[in-house]
């Protein structure tokens, strides 16, 4: 069975500081990894997926299979980045469920 761990429930940084939200996973096969974001009073939105290797809103995430990690990074945090961030894993077959981490609340202070 797969498992996703986000060790920090809350991460508080000042505007302009670098941000790293940690995500570790355990899965014996080849997973697909995602980051979702939930802004206040809004629905869960897809932020990043590892297969596309893109940068969205300045965020990047690299899949490290050796360390089984998929940390989310941004060099300079903005106040509008304040939200709940969820790391999620899907086994490498279409239609299988997502397994979510417990989420990290990012607070960016002015």
Partner 1 sequence: GEEVAQTPKHLVRGEGQKAKLYCAPIKGHSYVFWYQQVLKNEFKFLISFQNENVFDETGMPKERFSAKCLPNSPCSLEIQATKLEDSAVYFCASSQSRGEGYTFGSGTRLTVV
Which of 37, 74, 87, 99 binds partner 1 (CB under 8 A)? It is 99
DSSP string, 27-82: -SS-EEEEEEEE-TTS--EEEEETTT---BTTBEE--BTTTTB--EEESS--GGG-
Rg (C-alpha) for the chain, rounded Å, is 13
- For residue 37, count CB atoms less than 10 angstroms from its CB and return exposed for 0-12, middle for 13-18, buried for 19 or more: buried
Residue 17 binds partner 1 (CB under 8 A): no
Residue 7 binds partner 1 (CB under 8 A): no
Residue 98 binds partner 1 (CB under 8 A): yes
Q: Pattern of binders to partner 1 over 66-95, x per CB under 8 A?
A: ------------------x-x------xxx
Of the candidate spans 13-21, 30-38, 59-67, 75-83, the one that interacts with partner 1 by CB under 8 A turns out to be 30-38
Report the interface residues with partner 1, using CB under 8 A: 9, 32, 34, 36, 42-46, 49, 51, 84, 86, 93-100, 102-103
């Amino acid at each position: 069975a797969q498992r996703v761990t986000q060790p920090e429930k809350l991460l508080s940084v000042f505007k302009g500081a670098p941000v790293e939200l940690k995500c570790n996973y355990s899965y014996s096969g080849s997973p697909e990894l995602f980051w979702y974001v939930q802004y206040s009073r809004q629905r869960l939105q897809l932020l990043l997926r590892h297969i596309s290797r893109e940068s969205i809103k300045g965020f990047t995430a690299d899949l490290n299979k050796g360390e089984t990690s998929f940390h989310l990074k941004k060099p300079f945090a903005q106040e509008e980045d304040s939200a709940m961030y969820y790391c999620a894993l899907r086994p490498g077959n279409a239609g299988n469920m997502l397994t979510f981490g417990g989420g990290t609340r990012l607070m960016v202070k002015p």
